[in-house]
Chains A and B, each alone.
Chain A
Amino acid sequence: MIKSLDPRITRAEINLENTIEPLRDLDQWETYEVFHQKKRGDQHMHVGIVHAPNAEMAFIFAKEQFGRRGLSVNIWVVKTRDVYVSDYEDSDIYETVPEKNYREAGGYKVMDKINKFKKGL
């Protein structure tokens, strides 16, 4: 038995030569993606993953992992395998025309016309 400097370890009566079966697949469960909202009105932000056997446990782990300091008002968890993702290899699908002024506020300047019109009155 280990006689440790740590009384908790001595109390646990651990054999120094313990051998164990290797962890099998899914021993650590599947993963959930975690979305954290810092305060009301903010977007939920993706902050990482937790391993969990079900959504309720995923929530408990996520609260501990991502909400234990600072502000939190809400957390969502969703199974990684339920997230539909696009592939970086296909990032050309986001390519667009270089000039997209027509769909931005800055693309519309009317004051010149108005001023010119007023002068002409």
Chain B
Amino acid sequence: MYGNAYIDPNDKATAMTAGEDPKKLEEFEARIARGEKIEPMDWMPKEYRKQLVRMIEQHGHSEIIGALPEGTWITRAPGFRRKLALMAKVQDEVGHAQLLYSAAETLGKSREAMINDLITGKSKYSNVFNYPAYTWADACIIAWLIDAGAIINQVANAKGSYGPYCRALDRICTEESFHLKYGHDNVVTLATGTPKQREMVQAALTRWWPPIMHFFGPSDKISNHTEILMRWKVKMATNDDMRQQFLNMYVPKIWDLGLTLPDENLIKNAAGKWEYTEPDWDEFKRVVNGGGPCNAERLAVRRNAEERGRWVREALNTTESKYIVPLA
């Protein structure tokens, strides 16, 4: 599971390649244009490294924090098989975080530094996880539709230019396909069930629709900045393109179940493009910046886990440990 990395649209495009050796930059860009991957020890522009660290790290944090709203329902999952499946899914998400942190580490940021930036609120994670899973149906909607959004994003990014990130994403995408099927199965069970079950899944869908529309982020300004990131294959698709792809794949599946979406303007126009009410981006910014219903709880839980596990980690450590940046 995951969300889209939040890239500050105010980053100066001209500053992105300032001070770089033009010859090395040209070779680097030619390598990417040929479809070759960049590996950790290769020369890369400072801005490429910076943007990738930010993006992969945020992705990792999203996996870790995303385990919390879903984990909410482990103790009360309806039935043994669903409990097993949900535990497996949550474990996968935490495993994804480990893979992603490792990929980001190859770019030179230590895992300690990433965790510190998460728990102090300096690093962001996907905004959707600042919303609560009120009922079992919320957990089902997350497993189906948030993971569906994540897959669209991850499949695109897996074709990016940075080798370790692509390898992590390939492994992640394979696992996400189970999450998606599991989530769909749960939603279908509720939607084809009793009137009470239908009511429950409809309510969850209505609650989650605005965060889902926020999921891919605001429209990208087509700036030089985005253009360079796309040329470097750091960003593989615009936020709007990914949102369109999501709507195209999933709105019909939602409507098939006789469920309604809380947007009267949602329609596929004659040109095959989805029209919708513009999401409330002020709300999005407010929640990204800490004002959501669960931001404080999510980070407090993370800090607690780090703090209460610290003595175990310290007891296991040996004085001869020596950190070097992982190879791949």
Interface residues of A (CB under 8 A from B): 2, 4-9, 12, 14-20, 22-31, 33, 46-51, 53-54, 57, 64-65, 68-69, 80-81, 83, 85, 87-89
Which residues of chain A have C-beta atoms less than 8 A from B112's C-beta?
22-28
Interface of B is mostly: helix
Q: Please tell me if the beta carbons of A65 and B98 are within 8 angstroms of each other in the complex.
A: yes
Bound-state CA distance A7–B314 (Å) is 29
Which 7 pairs between the two chains have the least Cβ-Cβ distance?
A6-B72, A53-B316, A23-B112, A28-B111, A20-B307, A49-B326, A14-B304
B91 interfacial contact with A, CB 8 Å: yes
- 17 example contacts (A-B, Cβ-Cβ < 8 A) are as follows A5-B133, A14-B300, A14-B301, A18-B307, A20-B307, A24-B112, A26-B317, A31-B324, A33-B327, A46-B328, A48-B168, A48-B171, A65-B95, A68-B95, A81-B322, A87-B41, A88-B42
Q: Please tell me if the beta carbons of B304 and A88 are within 8 angstroms of each other in the complex.
A: no
Q: How many residues from B make CB contacts under 8 Å with A?
A: 52
Q: Please tell me if the beta carbons of B75 and A8 are within 8 angstroms of each other in the complex.
A: yes
B269 interfacial contact with A, CB 8 Å: no
Q: Please tell me if the beta carbons of B318 and A2 are within 8 angstroms of each other in the complex.
A: no
Which residues of chain A have C-beta atoms less than 8 A from B102's C-beta?
31, 48-49
Bound-state CA distance A44–B257 (Å) is 46
Which residues of chain A have C-beta atoms less than 8 A from B313's C-beta?
27-29, 53
Which residues of chain B have C-beta atoms less than 8 A from A16's C-beta?
296-297, 300
A81 touching B324 in the complex, CB below 8 Å, given contacts A2-B297, A68-B95: yes
Interface residues in B29-80 by Cβ distance below 8 A to A read 39, 41-43, 68, 71-72, 74-76
Bound-state CA distance A33–B326 (Å) is 8
B323 interfacial contact with A, CB 8 Å: yes
Choose one: A47, A53, A68; the contact of B318 (CB below 8 Å): A53
Choose one: A14, A26, A69; the contact of B321 (CB below 8 Å): A26
Taking A5-B132, A14-B304, A18-B303 as given, write out 6 further A-B residue pairs in contact, using a Cβ cutoff of 8 Å, ordered by the A residue number.
A16-B300, A20-B119, A20-B303, A26-B112, A26-B323, A27-B310
Nearest CB on B from A22, distance (A): 5
Q: Please tell me if the beta carbons of B41 and A53 are within 8 angstroms of each other in the complex.
A: no
Which residues of chain A have C-beta atoms less than 8 A from B297's C-beta?
2, 4, 9, 16
Bound-state CA distance A21–B134 (Å) is 32
Smallest CB-CB separation from A14: which chain B residue? B304
Interface residues in B263-320 by Cβ distance below 8 A to A read 296-297, 300-301, 303-304, 306-307, 310, 313-314, 316-318
Q: Please tell me if the beta carbons of B326 and A80 are within 8 angstroms of each other in the complex.
A: yes
Q: Please tell me if the beta carbons of B318 and A54 are within 8 angstroms of each other in the complex.
A: yes
Smallest CB-CB separation from A13: which chain B residue? B304
Nearest CB on A from B74, distance (A): 8
Bound-state CA distance A16–B295 (Å) is 10
Nearest CB on A from B17, distance (A): 21
Nearest CB on B from A118, distance (A): 49
Bound-state CA distance A16–B293 (Å) is 13
Which residues of chain A have C-beta atoms less than 8 A from B105's C-beta?
31
Nearest CB on B from A12, distance (A): 7
Bound-state CA distance A100–B91 (Å) is 49
Interface-centre pick from A2, A23, A54, A81 (highest chain B CB count, 10 A): A23
Which residues of chain B have C-beta atoms less than 8 A from A81's C-beta?
322, 324
